[in-house]
Amino acid sequence: MSTPLQQLQSELTTELDAILEYWSKFTMDTKNEGFIGQIDHNNQINSQAEKGSVLNARILWTFSSAYQLTKNEEHKSIAKRAFDYIVSHFYDTEFGGIFWSLHHDGTPKDTKNQIYAIAFVIYGMTEYYAVSKEEKALEVAIDLYKKIQEYSYDPINKGYLEAFTRDWKNIDDLRLSDKDANEKKTMNTHLHIVEGYANLYKVWKDETLRKDIIELLEVIDTHFINEETGHLRLFFDENWIEKPDVISYGHDIEATWLLLQCAEISEDASLIARYKKHAIQLTDVTKEGIDEDGGLWYELDPESSELIAEKHWWPQAELMIGFFNAYELTRDKTYLDVVLKNWDFIKKHIIDTENGEWHWGVNADYSLIQKDKAGFWKCPYHNGRACIEVINRIKKIENK
């Protein structure tokens, strides 16, 4: 008789294989190299869709990370395909940086340097270097780290600015997407810079980089974590004046485990202790956003108390890791119960058992949100990573 943890590990192993199989089967662009830019909710491939840097960086990370678990050579070869395509098409050899998007044929479309995307390329390149020892991957990651430090870092107020033109000049529209506030410093970008930097430090033990990680974690602690509410603050101007916005339950729970992981990589004892405390506090306030069915709501407007009554795929994935992390830290079974109930919700409403991969999400009445199955923002990173993280964390517990 298997334990609930063994059962969960088994099911997540099967699901990880299914996610990777979907991306292996449907997203290869055999005509123009690389990967298809968009597949809609009906699994219809749009071969003319633009190709996003974030999607490609996340494919690179996912297949590299998965290979460490699966040891499946096909996964490693898909990671190499993503690496080759980023280096030959997204990486700007003239000015240094990453094109935000390409036309379907691989020619540059939007050439702005969005720091969020560059951080994800660092994350993907370093994960690929860990499995391939491909020196070019490390070289690109270090170069991009230095570019961020040179142009995006704010030496006066600390923290990092959002975006620049191709040649690193100031740019008017700093937003990642239409739904974001047009502000110079955001939680989302800082979260993923430190994620990329920490992954780089795992394979390149540079002391300056370590200090940059520690400073970043200090900045996040000071500005982005709201000690009064326990939630994250999302948007600021360059002088750290907040522009209040929604509560993002998905980011709250993603930050719980990811920032602690970065603190542990930095090996700074005081930061590790602080982020363990933050992890529990952020996890506990995320409970506000969990519905009776185990699913996590998307966002809340604290001014009007109006809920964005949708359950997207990625907050569910992050909830699994975040609450499992809280269970590891406390051994309080109520956190594990949340994970198991959320996994049941995912199996029932989010996984597309007919066509594969995960749906974008569901509305309050469980009708499907009819958005991309694969696309600019719909990647194998959140759900793939949730499987990888929880599988590895269960193994750690079972082996003790």
- pLDDT at 173 (0 to 100): 75
Residue 1 reports pLDDT greater than 70: no
**Averaged pLDDT for residues 200-209:** 98
- pLDDT at 180 (0 to 100): 67
Q: What percent of the chain has pLDDT over 70?
A: 98
Inter-residue contact 35 to 56 (CB < 8 Å): yes
Q: Distance (Å, rounded) from C-alpha 47 to C-alpha 49?
A: 6
Task: Give CA 308 to chain center in angstroms.
Answer: 21
Q: Give pLDDT tens digits for 42-100.
A: 999 999 999 999 999 999 999 999 999 999 999 999 999 999 999 999 999 999 999 99
Question: Residue 249: which pLDDT band, with cuts at 50, 70 and 90?
Answer: very high
- Fill in the DSSP letter of residue 242: B
- pLDDT at 176 (0 to 100): 65
- pLDDT at 303 (0 to 100): 85
Q: Give pLDDT tens digits for 17-51.
A: 999 999 999 999 999 999 999 999 999 999 999 99
The two structure tokens encoding residue 132: 């391939």
Of residues 398 and 108, the one with the higher pLDDT is 108
Q: Domains of the chain by range and CATH?
A: 4-398 (1.50.10.10)
Of residues 275 and 180, the one with the higher pLDDT is 275
- pLDDT at 183 (0 to 100): 77
The amino acid at 400: K
- pTM, to two decimals: 0.97
Inter-residue contact 101 to 50 (CB < 8 Å): yes
Is the backbone of residue 97 left (phi > 0), alpha (psi -120 to 50) or beta?
Answer: left
Residue 351 reports pLDDT greater than 90: yes
Q: Distance (Å, rounded) from C-alpha 119 to C-alpha 190?
A: 9
Q: Distance (Å, rounded) from C-alpha 29 to C-alpha 38?
A: 11
- pLDDT at 174 (0 to 100): 72
> Mean pLDDT over all residues of the chain?
96
Q: What percent of the chain has pLDDT over 90?
A: 94
